Each structure stands twice: as C-alpha cells, then as structure tokens.
C-alpha cells in the first residue's frame, strides 16, 4: 500500500503512477464534523502506444463490415456518409471518446483539431493513430463531402494506410501518399488526438 497524501483540504489529489497497470485507489474522506466516508476507485494506467494500439485494434475488428451498422444506430441518425461516425464510434468504444468530437461532420473534426493546435499539414509526416481528413476536390472545402479515416501505417516512401468506414460502403483500408500530391487525392490534413 502506498499513501498518496494525508489530511489535505483539497478535493483534488494528483497521483503520478510509477508504472503502467491497474490500480485500486482507496479514498477516505472526512467532513469538518468528523464524519467519514470511504470508497474505491479502479484505474488503469496505459502508455500512449497502448492507447493507439487499442484504437487500431478496435477499428480493424470491423474490417469487411458492410452498410454502416452498428455505427449509424449508435449515432442515432442516418446521414449520407458514415465515415466520421465510424471514427467517432471507434474512439467511444475504446474508452477515448473525449479525444474526438461527437459528430458525423468531417468539417467539425477539422475545426476541432485546428482549434486545439492538433491539426497537421497534409505534407507533414503523419503518425499511426492520426485521423486523416480528406475533401473531395469536385466541391471545394469546407462545403464539399469528404472522408475521415484512422492512420494505421506510415511507410518511408510516404504511403499511408488508413482504416476507413464507408469506403464503398465497407470498413476497409484506404491508401494515400502524403509525399506525392498526385496520390494524396483531397488530403487536407491530419488530426492528432491527445492520446
């Protein structure tokens, strides 16, 4: 047993976990009148890489699924496309829904990451776990429809493989190349969640 702190008037205590793993935190709270209450908090401490791997694993588990279910049912509406709903669903189901906006609009993703300083240029090197945002050039940004995907591989030659909902109405891989403008069809940036 490790005592984090004793007898503090604060409602907040910072616990710096010495390593990853599961923790059971026992709390005893006392009122000014001397009454006390106790409770336990379970906490799982993971690394950034473990959290990213969880997202990739969850997204990959839906590979080949057709038609947008259960994603559209979970979201509660049936918009024209479901790629952004898929990304939102994956983060929510992985316990990281607070890292992305709850939306079906890829423009909301773009604006969200831009406002947080987490949006990177389409020519910058993406990272596994990034969210690639595309605009189809036939209708100029930010009006036109586009695509939102989760980066799961970045090659030295610039090849980026992503896991995508609603590619031909399936969950499947989608490929681009951030180093080659001719192959980076509609790529407008990479959102980097704060894992």
pLDDT along the chain (195 residues), means of 10: 68 72 79 80 84 97 93 84 94 96 90 96 95 78 75 96 94 94 87 97
Domain that holds residue 38: 1-45
Residues 39 and 108 in one domain: no
Structurally, how many domains does the chain consist of? 2
Residues 80 and 163 in one domain: yes
Among 84, 92, 89, 93, residue whose Cα is nearest residue 191: 84
**With contact defined as beta carbons under 8 Å apart, do 79 and 85 qualify?**
yes
What does the alpha-carbon distance between residue 84 and residue 191 come to, in Å, rounded to a whole number? Answer: 13
Detail the DSSP E strand segments found in 67-186. 119-120, 131-135, 146-154, 159-167, 170-177
Residues 4 and 85 in one domain: no
Residues 107 and 141 in one domain: yes
Q: What pTM value is reported for the model?
A: 0.79
């Amino acid at each position: 047993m490790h005592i984090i702190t004793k007898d503090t008037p604060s409602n907040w205590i910072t616990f710096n976990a010495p390593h990853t793993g599961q923790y059971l935190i026992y709390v005893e709270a006392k009122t000014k009148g001397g009454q006390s209450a106790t409770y336990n908090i379970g906490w799982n401490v993971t690394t950034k890489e473990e959290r990213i791997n969880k997202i990739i694993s969850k997204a990959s588990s839906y590979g080949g699924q057709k038609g947008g279910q259960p994603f559209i049912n979970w979201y509660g509406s049936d918009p024209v496309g479901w790629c952004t709903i898929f990304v939102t669903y994956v983060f929510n189901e992985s316990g990281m829904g607070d890292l992305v906006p709850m939306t079906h609009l890829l423009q909301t993703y773009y604006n969200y990451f831009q406002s947080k300083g987490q949006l990177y240029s389409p020519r910058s090197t993406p990272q596994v776990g990034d969210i690639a945002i595309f605009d189809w050039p036939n209708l100029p940004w930010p009006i036109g429809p586009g695509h939102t995907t989760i980066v799961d591989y970045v090659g030295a030659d610039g090849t980026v493989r992503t896991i995508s909902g609603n590619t031909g109405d399936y969950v499947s891989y989608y490929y681009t190349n951030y180093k080659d403008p001719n192959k980076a069809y509609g790529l407008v940036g990479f959102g980097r969640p704060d894992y």
